[in-house]
């Protein structure tokens, strides 16, 4: 039953081609990061020399550390605000300006990044805020909180409220009900939201370029300025590490949420 064997030939081909198209470029990039040749297109045997070269590249390491910090701070902030927004949208049926609120959640999801970046920069200039890592964190938070909201909201909509009601009927105060019943039940979505916010922030070039200030360089800004000068084997190595970090985080998160769901409370079928 678990096999794909029952799919028709056409369907199998579509899936195989689709997945190959999605994964081949990444696989090629990873393989070539272990290439010994300085020419990126000539295979010169396996080697770790570009990873060794990276350890020497102080600027790249600094940019990577800065990016991790920005991503962590903005994802944490976005998770809190985004979860609040999701609770507001699903639990509070009516409040003034709800339509505008919902629009401001959904529109940034599709808004071209150049516009978001430009508008935030102009805001920071208008209020005379010194630009740097702080402004990037603020900018990333406003972008990624909307993604958190959508993820948490989808969990809250399909949420069985009878457990909360049972707890309240038994005299559990609302605050404790939220912490002991509601939050654990939506936790997988909150974690998924945090990780998505983290990876979006780690990934963003356009908004960071607009909102950065002198001396504040994130990893994508650094990679972009190198890539513009052409493909370099060191960049392949940076990208491979980047992919490995994200892949480990995603796999770990999916394992955690699976364990939670297996051991957690019964859900509606």
Partner 1 sequence: MSSPEIRSPDEAQRNPGTDGERGAVAPDFASLHPGYEPADQVVAPRPIRRSPAERLTVIVPYLWLIALFFVPFLIVLKISLSQTALAQPPYEPVFDVTAGLEGVRDFLSGLSLANYFTLAGDDLYLFSYLKSLTVATFSTAILVLCGFPIAYAMARAPRRARPLLVTLIILPFWTSFLIRVYAWINILQHDGLLNQALLALGIVSEPATWLATDTAVYIGLVYSYLPFMVLPLYASLEKLDPTLLEAAADLGCPRWKAFCLVTVPLALPGLGAGALLCFIPIVGEFVVPDLLGGSESTMIGQTLWTEFFANKDWPVASAVAVVLVILLVGPIVVYQHLQARAVEER
Stretch of 5-13, 50-58, 259-267 lying at the interface with partner 1 (CB under 8 A): 5-13
CA torsion sign, 115 to 138 to 104 to 149?
positive
Q: Which is nearer to partner 1, 16 or 52 (CB)?
A: 16
- 168, 177 Cβ separation under 8 angstroms: yes
- 234, 23 Cβ separation under 8 angstroms: no
Give yes or no for residue 214 binding partner 1 (CB under 8 A): no
If DSSP codes are grouped into helix, strand and coil, which group holds residue 46?
Answer: strand
Rounded CA separation 256/222 (Å) = 33
Stretch of 44-52, 56-64, 204-212, 259-267 lying at the interface with partner 1 (CB under 8 A): 204-212
Rounded CA separation 50/7 (Å) = 43
For residue 96, give both structure tokens: 């003034």
- 219, 66 Cβ separation under 8 angstroms: yes
What is the smallest separation between the CB atom of 258 and partner 1, expressed in angstroms? 10
What is the smallest separation between the CB atom of 23 and partner 1, expressed in angstroms? 7
10 Å Cβ neighbour count for 203? 15
Q: Which is nearer to partner 1, 68 or 243 (CB)?
A: 243
For residue 19, give both structure tokens: 């997945």
Contact pattern from residue 96 through residue 115 relative to partner 1, giving x for each residue in contact according to CB under 8 A and a dash for the rest: -x--xxxxxxxxxxxxxxxx
Q: Which is nearer to partner 1, 7 or 48 (CB)?
A: 7
Q: Which is nearer to partner 1, 171 or 215 (CB)?
A: 171
What is the smallest separation between the CB atom of 181 and partner 1, expressed in angstroms? 10
Q: Which of 20, 38, 65, 119 binds partner 1 (CB under 8 A)?
A: 119
Q: Which of 68, 132, 250, 257 binds partner 1 (CB under 8 A)?
A: 250
For residue 100, give both structure tokens: 């505008």
Q: Which is nearer to partner 1, 45 or 97 (CB)?
A: 97
Give yes or no for residue 36 binding partner 1 (CB under 8 A): no
The whole-angstrom distance between residue 241's C-alpha and the CA centroid of its chain comes to 16
The C-alpha angle 152, 204, 199, rounded to 5 degrees, equals 45
Give yes or no for residue 161 binding partner 1 (CB under 8 A): yes
Find the binding residues for partner 1 in span 71-90 (CB under 8 A). Answer: 80-85, 87-88
What is the smallest separation between the CB atom of 133 and partner 1, expressed in angstroms? 17
């Amino acid at each position: 039953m678990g096999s794909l064997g029952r799919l028709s030939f056409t369907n199998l081909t579509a899936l195989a081609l689709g997945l190959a198209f999605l994964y081949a470029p990444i696989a090629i990039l990873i393989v070539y990061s272990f290439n010994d040749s300085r020419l990126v297109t000539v295979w010169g045997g396996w080697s770790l020399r570009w990873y060794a070269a990276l350890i020497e590249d102080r600027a790249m390491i600094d940019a990577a550390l800065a990016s991790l910090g920005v991503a962590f701070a903005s994802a944490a902030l976005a998770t809190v605000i985004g979860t609040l927004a999701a609770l507001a949208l699903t639990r509070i049926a009516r409040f003034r300006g709800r339509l505008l609120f919902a629009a401001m959640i959904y529109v940034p999801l599709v808004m071209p990044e150049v516009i978001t970046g430009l508008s935030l920069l102009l805001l920071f200039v208008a209020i005379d805020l010194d630009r740097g890592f702080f402004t990037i964190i603020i900018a990333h938070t406003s972008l990624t909180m909307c993604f958190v909201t959508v993820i948490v909201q989808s969990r809250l909509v399909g949420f069985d409220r009878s457990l909360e009601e049972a707890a309240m009927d038994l005299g559990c105060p609302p605050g404790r009900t939220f912490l002991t019943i509601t939050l654990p039940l939506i936790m997988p979505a909150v974690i998924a939201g945090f990780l998505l916010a983290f990876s979006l922030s780690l990934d963003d070039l356009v908004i960071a370029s607009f909102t950065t200030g002198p001396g504040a360089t994130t990893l994508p800004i650094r990679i972009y300025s190198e890539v513009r000068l052409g493909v370099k084997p060191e960049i392949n190595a940076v990208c491979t590490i980047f992919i490995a970090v994200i892949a480990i985080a995603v796999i770990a998160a999916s394992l955690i949420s699976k364990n939670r769901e297996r051991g957690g409370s019964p859900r509606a079928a």
